[in-house]
Structures are given as structure tokens and as C-alpha cells.
């Protein structure tokens, strides 16, 4: 990654570094994957799908990803209130890369088991 960053002068200008700042936290990828699989989820449905995440971390992550354009939050004016989350086009554009990463991870797991 340092050679990639050197092409851009500053590490912050590297597209890979930028992408990792958007999705690189512990919970971002599990949230994105859960939204991909569930398409549109309410908060509690999403929390159930992302095992071990706290309310505070889920709320904060969703707000940040909404601000970054990865997640859309839709609030319905109903009683009781209903809020749904889904991926934006930018969030959906991540999925092929995540599928490739999962395939690579599986191959690495198999090598470790065999090795």
C-alpha cells in the first residue's frame, strides 16, 4: 500500500487508503453485509443480524455511513415510529469487492487448515 500511496504524494490521497477509512472499522463490513443480505432492515432487525454489536456502536456507525453515502435511512411518519436502513448505490457497489475478499479469505482459511 505504501507504493500505491507514494503515487499520490500523500497517504491521504491514496484511493485505497480513503476506501479503508470508509469501511475499515470492526463493524462496518458486517453492517454492510447484513444490509446487502436483508436489502432493507429496521434497526432491531439489523442489530440481530450483526452479532455482538452494541446499540451505541450500531447507531454511530449507521450515522457515519449515512453521512458518507453508503447507507440510506428512511423514516416513516407512523405511530409507532418506523425507520428502515438500506444500502445506497455506493454501498451496493462494494458488494463485488466484498465477495472477492470473502473468496480470498476462504482460500486462505483452507491453506491454513491444510498447511
**Structure confidence by residue, pLDDT tens digits, 72-115:** 999 999 998 899 999 999 999 999 999 999 999 999 998 887 76
Residue 20 lies inside a defined structural domain of this protein: no
Among residues 50, 57, 55, which one has the least CA distance to residue 25?
57
Residue 33 lies inside a defined structural domain of this protein: yes
Instruction: Give the model's pLDDT for residue 53.
Output: 97
Phi-psi region of 87 (alpha: psi -120 to 50; beta: other; left: phi over 0): beta
Question: pLDDT tens, 79-90?
Answer: 988 999 999 999
Residue 12 lies inside a defined structural domain of this protein: no
Q: CATH number, domain at 48? A: 1.10.10.10
Give the C-alpha separation, 16 to 14, whole Å: 5
Its pTM surpasses 0.85: no
pLDDT at 48 over 80: yes
Residue 17 lies inside a defined structural domain of this protein: no
Question: Span 4-30, mean pLDDT?
Answer: 81
* Domain total of the chain: 1
Residue 96 lies inside a defined structural domain of this protein: yes
Contact 40, 85 (CB under 8 A): yes
Residue 95 lies inside a defined structural domain of this protein: yes
What's the gap between Cα 97 and its chain centre?
11
Which residue segment(s) compose the domain that 83 sits in?
26-114
Amino acid at each position: 500500500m505504501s507504493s500505491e500511496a507514494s503515487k499520490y504524494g500523500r497517504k491521504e490521497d491514496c484511493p485505497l487508503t480513503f476506501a479503508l477509512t470508509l469501511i475499515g472499522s470492526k463493524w462496518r463490513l458486517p453492517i454492510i453485509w447484513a444490509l446487502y443480505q436483508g436489502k432493507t432492515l429496521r434497526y432491531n432487525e439489523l442489530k440481530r443480524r450483526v452479532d455482538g454489536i452494541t446499540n451505541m456502536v450500531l447507531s454511530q456507525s449507521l450515522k457515519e455511513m449515512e453521512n458518507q453515502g453508503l447507507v440510506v435511512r428512511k423514516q416513516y411518519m407512523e405511530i409507532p415510529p418506523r425507520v428502515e436502513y438500506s444500502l445506497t448505490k455506493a454501498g451496493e457497489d462494494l458488494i463485488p469487492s466484498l465477495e472477492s475478499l470473502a473468496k480470498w479469505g476462504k482460500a486462505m482459511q483452507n491453506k491454513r487448515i491444510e498447511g
